[in-house]
Structure 1
Amino acid sequence: MRCFFAYVSAGVVTGLGISFAVSTSKPIREVKDAAERFAGGDLDYRVKTTRRDEIGVLAGSFNAMAEKLKEEIAEHKRTGEVLRESEQRFRTIFDSVIDGVLITDIETKEFYAGNTAICHMLGYPAEEIKNLKIADIHPKEEISFVMEQFEKQAKGETTLAKDIPVQRKNGTVFYADINTSRVTFDGKTYLMGIFRDITTRKAIEDALRVLNDSLEQRIAERTVALVQANKELTMEIAQRRRTEGELRKLFNAVEQSPCSVVITDVQGKIEYVNPKFSRATGYAPEEVIGQNPRVLKSGEKPSEEYKRLWDTITSGGEWEGEFHNKRKNGELYWEYASISPIRNHEGVITHFVAIKEDITERKRTEEELRKQRDHLEYLTNRLIAPTKSWKRSATRYRMTCVRRCGASMALARRCWKIALTSWMHRAKTTSIGCARPASIWGSLSMTC
């Protein structure tokens, strides 16, 4: 009996064990399959279970872990994308910089990377750049100087090294200014140098230096010339002041001249008149400027005379003559004019100048003198007409005086002078000049 119960108990236990094994192995296989699928990249697969025992807790923990890993993997992917984009941008910028860029290991002095511009500058392809060191791109005789500058830049003592000689792959040398800064890649610090080719600038500077020397020499020469020119200018200014003084005196002389002065252009239009002109004609300057002097014509002078005048002065000659002109108020007056051309330094006639004197009073005096002269000539002719008869009568009268006075010639001459003086007085005060000579001397003989 005991054996039976033992077998029954063993069977029950075995059945329960088998049942438990079956009930637990399936969820475990599901967790195992889920782990394999997750590892295979199926990040969305989860263990499906509703159990609340340890298996259920295990499945829930797996699902939570899978979700977290999915999020971390997604974040890692996003970070990787950002890093790749950043690296691509850096590479694009790195290669697009027009200056050459070299990233150098501070410790080994080897180049970590170089951009496209530095490859063109040095003549090396990008893959060869990474196999070079600092000493490979500089002339041997300049290595100590270059390394000294590199150490200063690596220590932060300076960032700019000027006029650094750089040697190309083909052996030619150019000069560059190298500006440096520290950069970090993969946790390691490098020195990034930006190379700016200054060969052209140095050539320009050398040319400018030569030009500057030449310019300084020219300035010195020019200074000497300017000093001389200044002396000449000072003399010229002094001469000009003297000339201006002379011109001022001449202008004042013209302005204060007692004669009228008129200046016209070559067309005969008035450009200047002095105050005497205005006083003589009654015209203000603004009334005649731009006008022709014919505004003064009285109409008495023939047009042929004016034509001869114009032909004379336009041919370079000087004309002198009289005008009977008319003032603004209509009054006629006489003036004597001298008109001549004005020439420039080339001898070309540019203006005409007329100097005119009012001779109205002189003409009036001359007319009065002419009338008096005519009257005197008339009287003289009346007195002198019978001169021959008077001479014969006077001779006879003188002989009569001699006879009457005897042999004394002195007494006869005195008698003759007295008689002649008496006759001249009577001739002036009476009409004796018209009488017959015989009667005159007959009457005078009574005085002797």
Structure 2
Amino acid sequence: MTLLDLTPRVAAGDRLQTLPVAIIGAGPIGLAAAANLAERGIDFIVLEAGEAVAASVRAWGHTRLFSPWKHLVDPASRRLLEATGWELPDPERAPTGAELVDRYVLPLAQLAPIASRIRLGVDVIGVAREGMDRTRSRGRAATPFVLRTREGGAVEELSARAVIDASGTYLSPNSLSSNGLGLRGFDEIADVVTHALPDVLGRDRARFAGRHTTVVGAGHSAANTLLGLAELARQEPGTTVTWLIRNAKAVRVSSSADDELADRAALGGRVERAVADGRIDVVDGFEIIRARRVDDRAELVGHRGEEDVTHATDVIVNATGFRPDLDMLREVRIDLDDIVEAPRRLAPLIDPNVHSCGTVEPHGFRELTHPEHGFFIVGMKSYGRAPTFLLATGYEQVRSVTAWLAGDVASASNVELVLPATGVCSTNVGGGSGCCS
């Protein structure tokens, strides 16, 4: 692969200089990019598909993160907030997703330099170059980006000098099917399938109480949901829980004493105890082939070794992990790893078969650069299908990228990050999902 010229090539006075940087997504990483750009005096616009900032985090807001506050706040964002009198919560305490939003993300989004540049309810459905599809090369780097958006029923286009895609992956779950394709028969059971990390003890309690729930997946998201369901079963008669794992055996989340994130270290042991106590039934090695509706229940059909098997249940939680939504990027030139679907230079550093969260090397604009000059995928989406992402990693990504956009190559290249030591971040060998940073 030809090495790219990583020196900013936008000349002073060029039309590009008059355009904002477009940030897709107003989650913690997208807003961190906004804070870094604001500090450097670079104009930007933040486009968020949800009706509120951090919409995806709000969806699993009942879940406690593994990382304490000291690892969850972007340095540039902290500087802007502290200038208004904001104080960092207890650095050693791990908040819930809702606390992260209420005590950090929302105050950040309300800062004057950022609030005026956020547009909510705006879905980015396509990114391209003005007047160019992906096949045209001449003058491409000097041509503005165009982002096609949908807001309500209106479709419009806006121009940008660069694009930072921080849209995440939470809204793009992996398929329940073991081969990764859409599950045959899914339409028959769609009404009983829920997204990862439902609030089983709170908002979504009625959906699970007194029913048989099957959690599919082998990572931290599955573990959190299983523990919630086990507690619900203790409180509500008739509630039963099955953990269906598509691997040959159950791959446990970390319970290592070497893990500096205490909540994550304890999670695996709690799940194992619930299984040993009979509160969670485990079915492993189940290769899901298709689904069907039988009376008022969902039935998963597949193989277990050489045996044809079926599994009937009332509710299914899809905790099989997430994948990047790449449809909107068809007309920009991106270079992704064939397996992980992360930027090709980044993929070897985050391969979940080799790395945990804490063993991922610091990386920045170089590893995130694509053939499309001025386009970057950051945050969870930059990790493709790998679940080893931590917010602290994403903050360093956007610091480096925004430094490069400012022409400060020295700062952009000086990538430093100290991550907490971890045993295993996730159990995504075969499609589990990791939660949370």
Query: What's the TM-score, normalizing by structure 2?
Result: 0.19
Which protein, 1 or 2, shows the higher relative CO under an 8 Å CA cutoff with sep ≥ 6?
2
Higher helix share: 1
Larger Rg: 1
